[in-house]
Amino acid sequence: MARLHLFDLDGTLMRGSAAPVEISRQLGLLDEIGELEVALSTGRIGPQEYAVRVHALWAGLTEAHVTSAFDAAPWLTGIQEVWREIREQGEYCAVISLSPSFFVERLLSWGAHAAHGSLFPEVPFARPVDLAGILSPAAKVTVMKRLCAEFGVGPQDCVAYGDSMSDVDLFAAVPVSVAVNADHHLADRATHSYTGGDLREAYALVRSAR
């Protein structure tokens, strides 16, 4: 049976940073996004409130900002090589992230079969955020199940890669997981743990254990 490899983005494919941080860097709003990141990570606000505040913060966002943020982000090396190998093995790879879909979906051009993020309006923003489209950690499991149906696999055939407590629900729903540059809170829940800057090395833990 083919496997479905599910990758988180922030802190996982992107080491030590997140899409909202890199976007805000382009806008000169690092202090402001830092405050929102802390509020989210400490539970003072939830994903929906975070999305509304980020939407307001990025009032001047353009496609050029998004492109620059994507190109300058601290990506792990080997992402495209890993996804190419997964495809050559007849398996599937997808990204599930709480970050904006307009950023996450750019990874489709790198070889992901699917890329899902929180649904924001098109850039530049002309509409408010539809809160129904904002993902939560629990929603990652819902997306995983939808992708399983699309690709003809089951949750038992999935491998999850993540770095933070927002990945706990997904890790609990699949049999194999890889904590990537994560602290002990997530690493202790994972099948494998990897620290470093090369996705090929993290993927090798899964491949060698098969």
pLDDT by residue (tens digit) across 49-79?
A: 999 999 999 999 999 999 999 999 999 999 9
Q: How far is CA 141 from CA 17, 38, 67, 72, 146, in A?
A: 23, 24, 29, 30, 9
What would the two tokens of residue 42 be?
A: 């400490």
Task: Dump pLDDT digits (tens) for 85-97.
Answer: 999 999 999 999 9
Give percent above pLDDT 90 in the chain: 96
What would the two tokens of residue 5 be?
A: 């490899």
Angle at 105 between CA 36 and CA 145, to 5 degrees: 90
**H or E, element range at 127:** none
Query: Average per-residue pLDDT in the chain?
Result: 96
Q: Is the pLDDT at 174 greater than 90, yes or no?
A: yes
**pTM as predicted:** 0.96
What would the two tokens of residue 58 be?
A: 């990025």
DSSP-assigned letter for residue 105: G
Q: Residues 32-47: what's their mean pLDDT? A: 95
**pLDDT for position 100:** 97
What does the radius of gyration of the chain's CA atoms come to, in whole angstroms? 16
Confidence class for position 208, pLDDT limits 50, 70, 90: confident
**pLDDT for position 210:** 65
> What distance lies between CA 49 and its chain's CA centroid?
19
Task: Dump pLDDT digits (tens) for 108-128.
Answer: 999 999 999 999 999 999 999
DSSP-assigned letter for residue 161: E
Task: Dump pLDDT digits (tens) for 189-199.
Answer: 999 999 999 99
**DSSP strand pairing (158-162 vs 4-7):** parallel
**pLDDT for position 111:** 98
Is residue 102 within 8 A of residue 122, CB to CB? The reply is yes
Strand order in the sheet with 158-162: 114-118, 92-100, 4-7, 158-162, 176-180, 192-194
